[in-house]
Chains A and B, each alone.
Chain A
Amino acid sequence: MGPTSRETWAQRLGTFRASPSAFMAGPEGEDLGRHLLSDLRSEKLSEPTKVSLLALSLEYPAQLWPDAPAAEAAATSLLDTLVLLPPRPSALRRPLLLAATTALAAGGALGPTSGASRRLLPLLLGLASGRDLGRSFGPASEQRPLQATAWECLRELESCKPGLLGGCLGLLRGLLGQEGPVQPLSLLLALALRNALVIQARARLGLQGLLVAGDCPTEGGSWNWMLAEEGDAHLQPQAPSWPAAEGGECCLATLELSPEEARELRAAVAQLLDASYLLTPVAQAQLLWLLGWALRGLRGQPPVLFKPQLVRLLGTAQLTLLHAVLALKAAFGEALFTAQDEALLLRRLTLAAQHPALPLPAHLFYLHCLLNFPENWPLGPAGEEAAPLLLGSQLCRGLLPSLLHDPMDLLARLHLLCLLCVEDEEKEKKGQDQSPRRYLEELLAGLRQRAALGGGPRALATLCFQASYLVARCLAGQPAVLTPLTHGLAQLYRARPALAPHFVDLLDRVGPELGEPLKVVLRQEVVSRPGRDEALRWHLQMLARVADGDAQSATLGFLQAAAARCTDWGLQQALLQVCRALLRAGVGGGLADLLQALARQLEDPDGRDHARLYYILLAHLEEPKLGVALGPSLAAPALASSLVAENQGFAAALMVQEAPAPIRLSVGPHRAKGPAPVLQLQVEVLEQVYSLELRFRVERQLYAPLGAVHMPCLCPGRPIRPLLLPLQPRRPAPASLAVRALYTTPSGLTCHAHLPPLLVNFADLFLPFPQPPEGAKLGFFEELWDSCLPKGTESRLWCPLGSHGLEALVSRHLEPFVVVAQPPTSYLIAIRLPPDSRLLLRLEAAQADGVPVALRTDDWAVLPLVGDYLRGLSAAG
């Protein structure tokens, strides 16, 4: 395939830029990177087209060459293209160097095993240090821009792989004093120095002569990757560049420098600072951040080195320079800035924050810096915006807001004013003036006046509410501010009810200090002024937010009057929203009348249904349940019928939800008394529930249906008496009980849970016969024994005995049923099996390992159960 034409490329690049992801997903996406590289060598394409291809590769290498091997191959290809350029001037050399660097660094291919890295690094260093690379590498006129570019490429590689140039520190220092572009060299040296210090500090090593070593890898020699490999493991979020944010001591504190190394370091830093004036302001700022970072916390490196630069820097209006000075302030504090210096810096910052010659974004940033000023001795809690101690109200005068300011400026300044009012309150207690607060009041009034302007842009209203919110948040504890604010807002509502959504939003967000009184005055405002039709919609929206249990009759009166005027669907829905709010708030009697009236009188069927639904809910649900049922709905806003949407909302609240069991049940010890068997249930409570109802179902209907058990409230950890569950067996047989629990959660939802089935054992059904009088016992037994036949059956079996013998076995399991006892060898036992069977046992002539049992029953069906039971006894011990 031949090379693509210029037009095709232009179109392709245009489509790609519009949406890279869409292009890469398309048919041309896959081969774009390959085509681009091959067309760079095409002789048919012009240089400008090739430059535009390279520009694309500078921005989107990750899309063109998505993995490290592809990036490595691309970088190799770019380097080949560079070497193959004819020795005449070309606009491609610079972008090719940048592109190869970008491909390697962004593609994650940079490293000792990468062939392209091994080619690029010596090439860059050679170009940068002005070494003659032969005529093939471009004409002399290009050497200077290429030299600067090579330095920039090296700096970018060092940024992406800290420590890469650690071995070249000595060389860089040497070059700094000589001919060559001073800015790129200074910045690279500062960066490499900082990175080397950090890496060495981590490894708890000194500088190891790095600053003085003159040699550096050149062509032929191999690159020293040691420091970079060390550093690579650590291109993690380094200690943040703002030292104060980090809190503790910097890691550099561990770096031990010999006196000689410390001297060399100081010399290098001084050399950099002395030449810093030759750098552009933004580069000077970068240098200061880097050096400040490098020296922070380093023992034996007093920051006074920076001092000669400060006066010059403080005089400028450059954002980056003042910001860099603030960074130094934060890094070194009192060691570099005395109290007087701090005051001067604050004054310059205050001045810059309002200087008419500077643009608004700069003002705002300076204002932010003022409220986050790194003080030498901060008083307030860290991380909170506050006016610095030295920034008195005199200093702030020019920084206070006025209606003429841009909204963002106004809010920023208003924040400062609020902070002053906080201090003001403290002063006021001492009887000083209270002007900031008065000014604040007037300002807010002005904002409200503008917001009240009908037809004005929404931004004006938004600004007014933002300001009110800010004041309510900062001055929550000052009723002297909040009271006029509350009344002012009520007036604003009266003037422009269309701002209701803003009021609702404000009420949702402010604390109770403003929220509660505001709610009351707004409700009064609404119910006392029925308003014209256009305002009715807003009144209803407002009322839906502020209506509660208070002032019921006024609210209901308003609604009754409004109902007649709610002629369209939207108004009716708004009206019903208020009813809903009242329902939630637990308003009863009058509301029921209103809802009934609405259910008859509203024109729209949807509205009528809605009103009826609310009425039914009001009539049938208890208050807490109602609150939950009408709680905030997760359902989407109404589509066709609001009732449908609302029902989705109720669904969760009114339907019974399946939930994990809140309790655990187990069968307790057997109680053999009374006319019928009673199951004793132990309850273990896992979570708090209310109105618990346990429902039981007997499998195969062996027993009569069981009644439900109710418990009003269960709390984990609170002891509970066992539950007694009377059984009415239809046949004397063991059974399994399925158990379900229905209950209400503390949040008001009704839930049900399946509990594990309970097993009723055969022995759980045993009941004793009434005790005959003393002396008649044997006769009583014999009478029962005889009565079993002929209807019943008789059987004999061997009951094995455990180590405890017969006596222990009887006393443990059969004690309540013994009629005649001749311990330790003979027992006559009579058991009543409800509903009307009997089981008689003769345990006589026990031997050491067992006892022969003669048994009779009038119900032959129980025989296998008895057999299992008796054999199980010895196993139970």
Chain B
Amino acid sequence: MAQRAVWLISHEPGTPLCGTVRFSRRYPTVEKRAKVFNGASYVPVPEDGPFLKALLFELRLLDDDKDFSESRDSCSHINKTSIYALPVGGEELWPVVAFLKNGMIYACVPLVEQTLSPRPPLISISGISQGFELLFGVQGFLYSGQKNDSELNTKLIQLPDLLLQACPFGTLLDANLQNSLDSINFASVTHPQKQPTWKAGTYKGKPQVSISITEKVKSMQYDKQDIADTWQVIGVVTCKCDLEGSMPNVTISLSLPTNGSPLQDILVHPCVTSLDSAVLTSSSIDAADDSAFSGPYKFPLTPPLESFNLCYYTSQVPVPPILGFYQVKEEEVQLKITVNLKLHESVKNSFEFCEAHIPFYNRGPVTHVEYKVSFGQLEVFREKSLLIWIIGQKFPKSMEISLSGTVTFGAKSHEKQPFDQICIGGTAYLKLHFRILDYTLTGCYADQHSVQVFASGKPKISTYRKLISSDYYIWNSKAPAPVTYGSLLL
């Protein structure tokens, strides 16, 4: 379950090495065990330089992919997990857990407590999931609230000390590095007996509980006979419980109105102490029926100090909030476009903002646009080959709006115009961006009475809700569009 080494590498395309090792940490006692456990198949952890080179090549992050390279591009060289074998010094270092996120590569080498030839299945190596948690933890720490490079650098400087706390010998003690940081600060406080390790100290002050429900809705709309439109709601419930006592007990319930859509695929935070089996089994995998569990969804828990995601869920609402169609007809150098959007009557018609982005890929810059909108305004970004239809805060009474126009393009120059691997030929989409406050599509809510707190003092309870769009696509119905298996079956 231990790690032999951990790296943080920034990916810097265009530089000679294409990356820099920003942080690395080796664990010699684990390495010593690896030598014994792996026996003849032992491959030592390389120094930073060779590791960087091998990893960037394997992750296809070096700039030189102009020519076919067998060791990288061969069709049989298939990776189906974020776990790699790196050729280093004529041998293969395996398993290397690595992934790229926000320009940073996170990597570690878990200890395998047996011989490596033949390679045991990944599922049998406890260090793999531990390695992932460590890397997710580091990533979470680096990017929580981080806005710019200097903040990132400050956090990188803190990292060695934090890992000395959270992973002193290569065996991870806590993936929540923020918690480790807090526990350094809380160090002088004596722990009472049953203090959870994931709670660095105790809260002192006015008791309050805040619960916020954020739903994202995504959709793929095709306007075609043989392909079904799809949409899905993904919810996250974030809580912050400022309560005194070492282990205050809280029960938070989420409720649905009578016509609400059942919550499915619920994943809870580990601080939840028990779960109703109906919560555990409610799943989007099953065909929907009326007997689906519709709450209330009760979550008894002992909250940590910091803000945490109590649960994630998905839901299948009966209709998408905005239904639309998009038609593109190619006429010589011009494209003739028609867009029609309709807000469903059940949806709260009060947006923080609502926009439709209409990009044109693999073409030249927009030179001329002629259009007519029934509502809102159209902005044209010529160089980006992008139109943005600003719909504003409200749909008109009819709930239905339309846009039609012709777009003319200049000559294509490869460098500047956006390339897209999906939008080939007539394939095109428009993407909706909107946000509605104090509203959820499922109807899900948590009110003051739904929170039970078993601790001294009556806490102030505040609740928030919002709906935002995410990957809300409407595809050109006059050309092929990428489909998922689900859209074909229906």
Contacts and interface: CB of A to CB of B under 8 A. Distances in A.
Interface string A195-235: 00000000000000000000000000000000000000001
Contact of A102 (B28, B33, B122): B28
Interface in A790-820: none
Contact of A280 (B26, B120, B198): B198
Interface string A422-459: 00000000000001100100100010011001011111
Contact of B68 (A55, A101, A278, A505): A505
Given A361-B99, A402-B483, A458 B66 contact: yes
B224 interface: no
Interface in A316-372: 316-324, 326-327, 330, 344, 347-348, 350-352, 355-362, 364-365, 367-369, 372
Given A106-B31, A361-B82, A282 B74 contact: no
Interface string B196-212: 11100000000000000
Contact of B267 (A237, A315, A449): A315
A466 B78 contact: yes
B124 A240 contact: yes
B482 A509 contact: no
A405 B31 CA distance: 36
B75 A505 contact: yes
Interface stretch (A407-415, A569-577, A579-587): A407-415
A281 B133 contact: yes
A397 B114 CA distance: 36
A320 B65 contact: no
Interface stretch (B11-19, B272-280, B317-325): B272-280
A98 interface: yes
A142 B184 CA distance: 11
Q: Which secondary structure dominates where chain A touches chain B?
A: helix
Contact of B28 (A59, A278, A318): A59
B265 A372 contact: no
The size bracket of the interface on A is 35 or more
Interface in A55-102: 55, 58-62, 94-95, 98, 101-102
Nearest to B481: A403
A384 to B, nearest CB: 10
A415 B164 CA distance: 40
Contacts of A55: 160, 164
B92 interface: no
A395 B232 CA distance: 17
A408 B80 contact: yes
Given A355-B265, A397-B285, A412 B81 contact: yes
Interface string A98-135: 10011001101000000000000000000000000000
B26 A60 contact: yes
A238 interface: yes
B341 interface: no
Contact of A411 (B47, B66, B78, B266): B78
Interface stretch (B173-181, B332-340, B372-380): B173-181
B234 interface: yes
Contacts of A439: 485, 488
A44 interface: no
Given A59-B28, A237-B114, A365-B82, A316 B33 contact: no
A19 interface: yes
A242 B171 contact: no
Interface residues of B, number: 115
Interface stretch (A25-33, A283-291, A680-688, A726-734): A283-291
B349 interface: no
A280 B314 CA distance: 26
B113 interface: yes
B333 to A, nearest CB: 20
Interface stretch (B252-260, B401-409, B414-422, B453-461): B414-422
A506 B70 CA distance: 11
Given A159-B29, A289-B1, A319-B129, A280 B80 contact: no
Interface of B: 1-2, 24-29, 31-33, 36-39, 47-49, 60, 65-66, 68, 70, 72-83, 97, 99, 101, 113-115, 120-126, 128-130, 132-136, 160, 164, 168-169, 171-176, 179, 187-188, 190-198, 216, 218, 232, 234, 236, 265-270, 272-275, 277, 279-281, 283-285, 287, 312, 314, 414, 419, 421-422, 424, 482-486, 488-489
Given A179-B193, A241-B126, A316-B268, 19 more contacts: A58-B28, A62-B28, A149-B168, A156-B171, A159-B171, A180-B193, A181-B191, A237-B113, A241-B125, A279-B197, A312-B272, A344-B280, A355-B312, A365-B83, A398-B285, A403-B482, A436-B485, A468-B75, A505-B73
12 contacts: A55-B164, A105-B32, A181-B191, A236-B39, A240-B114, A315-B266, A351-B284, A355-B265, A356-B218, A365-B82, A394-B287, A442-B483
- CB-based closest 6 A-B pairs: A242-B124, A357-B312, A317-B267, A501-B68, A323-B129, A469-B75
